[in-house]
Structure 1
Amino acid sequence: MKICSIVLTAALLSAQSFASSVPSQPHLYVQGNAHMQVQPDRAVIRVAITEKSKSLSDAKKRVDDIMENAISIARNHKIKSDNIHAEQLNVYRQTRYNRTTNQDEFDGFRVSRSLTLKLEQIESYPVLLQKLVDAGINEFNNTQFEVSNKSALMKSLKKVAIKDAKLAAKELASDFDVKLDGLYSVSFSPMEIPRAPYARAASMKLMDSESGSVENAYNTGVLTLKAQVYAVYTINN
């Protein structure tokens, strides 16, 4: 797992009237930015079954049977009951315009149900998809790939961003032959300062990934997690 950290911006501002964000005395405005590329280890899969028939009971039975089979497949892939969410039945009465009679005519019932699955063993993702198709699932809305320990990773990223913001402030102070007096304010959201800050680039490798992979036909790629921190330092000569 690589963590690349880029300190994008720092600005040396003279005293201005931004009392809520910056002091009236000379100061540095620094942004630390860290990002990490990780291999996802779980997926949220959203699928559905849609059937159309002039017989509502026939369409409903077909949808219910396929949904029951899909849920059984999910359980066989060790998806917990709490991670299986089958929506209620949706029924739409459809009509079709007849140009000869200039009237809308009954065209059948459209019956559908949606299913959301949270798969925690991502290596079985390709096989699960194929089994759902074989079972009759005919709509794949989207799949959201996630990393299970995101909270811990984001905490590490924020620490890296803070470290890089501190390094940027020290470097910029050295370049302008001034001294850092102290930290005035810090935020994980941009401050309302109408100046384009100074950019500095850096990178570091902190750790290697031990995440697994999925079959080549369904390569999930990587996710990029990002963290930013904004800090204002007062300075003196």
Structure 2
Amino acid sequence: MLRLLTALLICCFPVAVQASSLPSFPFVTVSGESERGVMPDEAVITFQIVTFHEKSENASAQLNRTTRQALEVFADHNIPDRAITSYEISKNEVRERDSSYNQLGIIGYQFRRNFQVEIADLDKYSAIVLALLDIDYLTFQQSSFDSSQRQEVELELIAEAAAAAKQKAEQMAQGLGVTIDSVFAFNDTGSFEEFFATFGLNRAVYADMQQMRTSAPPPSVDQELFIPESIRIYKRVNVIYKVQP
């Protein structure tokens, strides 16, 4: 599905500038968007282990036991060690508080460690998550899904979005009786605001020009504890074309 966002900017249009002037030639700006639903084939899960005991050695020992349980789950499903990232262990004193929330004496120690695991085979996802949920002291945090073909898909989407932007620019130029000359600037990550910042265009003026366009934020992927049938990959291309009167 393609959606096109357009805006026409003429260099003689009165604008407020800050550091420098706008380009000294007529130009037109266009945006092309493209998105595609792709079946996910990999996931990343994150979880943390939190233990508490009045003695540090007991809390630490429980953290180690729970960590071994989690690692056994991954070993049982042939998840390689390189796919498992463990973060630094944190240790905090836990103090008793009075009715005014003033800290009193130490009542114990809390140990915490975060983990991130990449699952390249989604057939293993459900069994791994269910096994982790059965482990005491382990809190499951999040699953995110992706496609191993993302880079290839994004390249195709960029090409589609760029083609759509060019087609729209040509249609606008024809309707206005001008000719598209050449590409002056483009990007696929930022917005026209970054472009015009180079020429000192006032942010308020840019906001006014934005009202001439219909825009929508990039689609997002809801991250739930189930495997979605598809994920949406989105690309947007912003292009500034020089025009000949």
The answer as to whether partners of 1:21 and 1:185 remain within 8 angstroms in 2 is no
The structural deviation recorded for 1:47 is 0.8
Deviations 1:57-115 (A, max 9, x none): 2222222111112112112222211111233433222111256xx87133222122222
* Residues 1:98 and 1:196: Cα distance change in structure 2 (over 3 Å): closer
Amino acid at match of 1:15: C
Cα separation, 2, equivalents of 1:24 and 1:156: 34
Alignment of 1:54-69 (within 5 A): 54-69=54-69
Deviations 1:130-189 (A, max 9, x none): 101223253123223222222222111111111001100111122223332333333333
Cα separation, 1, equivalents of 2:228 and 2:91: 34
State the partner residue of 1:196: 210
Matched, 1:233 2:230: no
State the partner residue of 2:151: 151
* Residues 1:61 and 1:228: Cα distance change in structure 2 (over 3 Å): same
Alignment of 1:1-237 (within 5 A): 4-15=1-12, 23-98=23-98, 104-188=104-188, 189=190, 190=192, 191-192=195-196, 194=206, 195-196=209-210, 218-220=226-228, 222-237=230-245
Q: Secondary structure at the match of 2:46?
A: strand
Cα separation, 1, equivalents of 2:37 and 2:227: 15
* Residues 1:95 and 1:197: Cα distance change in structure 2 (over 3 Å): closer
* Residues 1:86 and 1:222: Cα distance change in structure 2 (over 3 Å): same
The structural deviation recorded for 1:200 is 8.5
Deviations 1:190-232 (A, max 9, x none): 221633386599xxxxxxxxxxxxxx97243643322222222
The structural deviation recorded for 1:37 is 2.6
In the comparison of the two structures, how many residue pairs are matched?
218
Deviations 1:32-67 (A, max 9, x none): 222223233222211112122223222222221111
The answer as to whether partners of 2:27 and 2:240 remain within 8 angstroms in 1 is yes
Which moved further from structure 2: 146-155 or 156-165? Answer: 146-155
Cα separation, 1, equivalents of 2:65 and 2:137: 11
Cα separation, 1, equivalents of 2:241 and 2:134: 61
Amino acid at match of 2:237: V
The answer as to whether partners of 1:91 and 1:112 remain within 8 angstroms in 2 is yes
Cα separation, 1, equivalents of 2:129 and 2:225: 12
* Residues 1:67 and 1:103: Cα distance change in structure 2 (over 3 Å): closer
The answer as to whether partners of 2:97 and 2:104 remain within 8 angstroms in 1 is yes
- Normalising by structure 2, what TM-score? 0.75
In angstroms, what is the RMSD of aligned CA positions? Answer: 3.1
Cα separation, 2, equivalents of 1:221 and 1:21: 50
- Normalising by structure 1, what TM-score? 0.77
Structure 2 unaligned runs (5+)? 216-223
Amino acid at match of 1:175: G
The answer as to whether partners of 2:95 and 2:103 remain within 8 angstroms in 1 is no
The answer as to whether partners of 1:91 and 1:109 remain within 8 angstroms in 2 is yes
Cα separation, 1, equivalents of 2:242 and 2:97: 72
Amino acid at match of 2:210: A
Q: Secondary structure at the match of 1:135?
A: coil
Which moved further from structure 2: 167-176 or 36-45? Answer: 36-45
Cα separation, 1, equivalents of 2:75 and 2:110: 27
Amino acid at match of 1:10: A
